[in-house]
C-alpha cells in the first residue's frame, strides 16, 4: 500500500511524462511540483515505486516513466476527470444538434471526439438488436413493386425493394401499413418475428399473399442486418503518437473492425467511463494502447458505445472528460430524435 507522499510522486511522474514525453527525474519533480520534500527523498520514493512496478527506468542514467500498473493506479485513484468548459459544452451541443439523421450523428460524433482528444475515435452504431420499431413505411414504386422502410427508435433506417406477387391498390397498401404499425410501434426488433406472425390473419384474404411477401422481406432484413457497425476517425493522430509496440499492429487492429467492436463491448455499462490500459488489452496488437470508452443511450438503456484509442501515454483526465460529455450529448440527441 502506498502512502500519500508516494502517491503524490507517482501522480507528478505521470503528469510530467504525459506532458513532456521525457523520462522524469527527481530534480525535475522537485522543481516543478510542490511536494514538500528534498530530491533525495523523492529519489527514495521513486526507488520504492519502481520496486513495486509502478514506474520503470527505460535506460541507465535516465529518469523514470510510468508502467501500465502505474497508469492504472493513476486512473483509479489519482486522476480527476477534467470537466469541459461551458464554451466547449455549447460547441459540442451545437455541432451534434445540427445532424439530420443517424449516419450524420455518428460521423459528427467520431470527428468531434478525434478533435477533442487528438486520438483515434471509435463510435459504434446503435445495434439493431437493442432497438425498437418507430415506424414502418410501404411506398408504392410501380404496379407490382414497393419500397419497405423500417425506422428504429435510434434513427436507423433500413429499406428494401419488394417485388409483389400481384398488383395491389394504394388503399390496400395503406391498410397493410396501418396494421403493421399498430402491431409494431415500440416493438423490440428481436420480438418482431413473433409479433407479426398473425398479421396476415388481420387482413382480407385477397391481401394475404402480398402481406406474406412483405413480411418475409422485413424478417430477412432483420436477419441480414444483425451485424454491428462502427465508424472511426483520427487515424492521422497516430503519426504523432508513441507506442511501446509497433504502429503496424495498431493499424491492423483498426482494419479488423470486429476487434474494436469486441473491445468496446467488453467495457462497462451506460455512462460508465471505462479505461483499458496497455497489457490489459487482450489483443497483442493493442498492448501499447489505452482505450477509454462509455456507453450512450436514452434513459437507463444502453444503445451502443463510443470511445477513443491512443498510446498509454495519454492525458487520461481530459480524455475521460471528453468521452463522458460526448456520450451524454449523443444519448440526449437520440432520445429526442
**Residue carrying C-alpha cell 451545437:** 94
DSSP class of residue 311 equals: E
Answer yes or no: are the C-beta atoms of 266 and 257 closer than 8 Å. no
- The answer to whether the 86-126+228-336 and 129-224 domains have the same CATH topology is no
Answer yes or no: are the C-beta atoms of 213 and 165 closer than 8 Å. yes
Specify which of 127-131, 139-143, 204-208, 315-319 reaches the highest per-range mean pLDDT: 315-319
Question: How many Cβ atoms sit within 10 Å of the Cβ of residue 336?
Answer: 8
Residue 244 is predicted with a pLDDT of: 53
pLDDT in tens, 288-311: 889 999 988 876 777 788 999 999
Residue 270 is predicted with a pLDDT of: 56
Buried b (16+ CB within 10 A) or exposed e, 186-207: eeebeebeeebeebbeebeeeb
State mean pLDDT over 77-84: 87
Q: Angle CA(4)–CA(9)–CA(15) in degrees, nearest 5?
A: 125
- Note if the pTM is more than 0.95: no
pLDDT in tens, 14-25: 999 999 989 999
Which stretch of 8-12, 135-139, 159-163, 295-299 has the lowest confidence by average pLDDT?
295-299
Nearest to 121 by CA among 228, 240, 232: 232
Q: Which CATH number fits domain 86-126+228-336: 3.30.450.40, 2.60.120.10, 2.30.42.10, 3.40.225.10?
A: 3.30.450.40
Please give the mean pLDDT across all residues of the chain: 86
State mean pLDDT over 46-53: 95
Whether 222 has a pLDDT exceeding 80, the answer reads: no
Residue 299 is predicted with a pLDDT of: 66
What is the distance, to the nearest Å, from the Cα of residue 119 to the centroid of all Cα atoms in its chain? 13
Whether 173 has a pLDDT exceeding 50, the answer reads: yes
Residue 83 is predicted with a pLDDT of: 87
Q: Length of the chain, please? A: 337
Sign of CA dihedral 226, 232, 235, 241: negative
238 vs 26, higher pLDDT: 26
Cell numbers of 53, please? 512496478
Alpha-helical (H) ranges within the chain are 4-20, 26-32, 39-51, 68-73, 86-97, 102-117, 170-184, 192-195, 208-224, 247-255, 257-265, 316-336
Answer yes or no: are the C-beta atoms of 321 and 337 closer than 8 Å. no
Which stretch of 24-28, 126-130, 224-228 has the lowest confidence by average pLDDT?
224-228
Residue 226 is predicted with a pLDDT of: 47
First and final CA of the chain: distance in angstroms? 49
Whether 179 has a pLDDT exceeding 50, the answer reads: yes
Residue 282 is predicted with a pLDDT of: 81
Whether 34 has a pLDDT exceeding 90, the answer reads: no
Answer yes or no: are the C-beta atoms of 136 and 153 closer than 8 Å. no
Which stretch of 205-214, 242-251, 310-319 has the lowest confidence by average pLDDT?
242-251
Specify which residues 293 forms β-bridges with. Answer: 274, 307
DSSP class of residue 270 equals: B
Whether 323 has a pLDDT exceeding 90, the answer reads: yes
Buried b (16+ CB within 10 A) or exposed e, 15-43: bbbbeeeebbbbebbbeebebeeebeebb
Give CATH for domain 129-224. Answer: 3.30.390.10
User: Rg (Cα) of the chain, in Å, rounded?
Assistant: 26
Cell numbers of 262, please? 469486441
Residue 157 is predicted with a pLDDT of: 80
Cα 223 from Cα 167, distance rounded (Å)? 27
271 vs 181, higher pLDDT: 181
For the chain, give every domain's residue range: 4-78, 86-126+228-336, 129-224
Q: 4-78 has which fold?
A: Arc Repressor Mutant, subunit A (1.10.10)
Whether 121 has a pLDDT exceeding 70, the answer reads: yes
Amino acid at each position: 500500500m502506498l502512502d500519500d507522499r508516494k502517491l503524490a510522486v507517482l501522480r507528478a511522474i505521470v503528469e510530467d511524462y504525459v506532458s513532456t514525453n521525457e523520462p522524469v527525474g527527481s530534480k525535475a519533480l522537485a522543481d516543478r511540483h510542490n511536494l514538500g520534500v528534498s530530491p533525495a527523498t523523492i529519489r527514495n520514493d521513486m526507488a520504492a515505486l519502481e520496486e513495486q512496478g509502478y514506474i520503470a527506468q527505460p535506460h541507465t542514467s535516465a529518469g523514470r516513466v510510468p508502467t501500465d500498473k502505474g497508469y492504472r493506479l493513476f486512473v483509479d485513484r489519482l486522476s480527476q476527470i477534467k470537466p469541459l468548459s461551458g464554451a466547449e459544452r455549447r460547441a459540442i451541443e451545437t455541432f451534434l444538434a445540427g445532424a439530420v439523421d443517424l449516419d450524420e450523428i455518428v460521423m459528427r460524433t467520431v470527428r468531434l471526439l478525434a478533435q477533442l482528444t487528438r486520438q483515434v475515435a471509435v463510435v459504434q452504431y446503435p445495434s439493431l438488436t437493442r432497438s425498437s420499431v418507430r415506424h414502418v413505411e410501404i411506398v408504392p414504386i410501380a404496379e407490382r413493386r414497393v419500397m419497405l422502410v423500417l425506422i428504429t427508435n435510434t434513427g436507423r433506417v433500413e429499406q428494401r425493394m419488394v417485388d409483389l406477387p400481384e398488383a395491389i391498390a394504394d388503399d390496400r397498401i395503406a391498410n397493410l401499413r396501418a396494421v403493421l404499425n399498430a402491431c409494431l410501434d415500440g416493438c423490440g426488433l428481436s420480438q418482431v418475428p413473433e409479433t407479426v406472425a398473425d398479421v396476415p390473419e388481420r387482413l382480407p384474404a385477397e391481401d394475404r399473399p402480398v402481406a406474406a411477401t412483405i413480411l418475409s422481406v422485413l424478417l430477412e432484413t432483420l436477419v441480414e442486418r444483425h451485424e454491428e457497425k462502427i465508424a472511426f476517425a483520427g487515424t492521422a493522430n497516430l503519426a504523432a503518437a508513441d507506442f511501446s509496440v509497433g504502429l503496424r499492429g495498431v493499424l491492423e487492429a483498426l482494419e479488423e473492425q470486429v476487434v474494436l467492436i469486441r473491445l468496446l463491448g467488453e467495457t462497462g455499462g451506460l455512462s460508465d467511463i471505462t479505461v483499458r490500459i496497455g497489457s490489459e488489452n487482450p489483443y497483442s496488437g493493442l498492448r501499447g494502447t489505452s482505450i477509454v470508452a462509455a456507453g450512450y443511450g436514452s434513459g437507463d438503456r444502453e444503445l451502443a458505445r463510443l470511445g477513443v484509442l491512443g498510446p498509454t501515454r495519454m492525458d487520461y483526465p481530459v480524455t475521460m472528460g471528453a468521452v463522458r460529455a460526448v456520450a451524454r450529448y449523443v444519448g440526449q440527441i437520440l432520445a429526442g430524435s
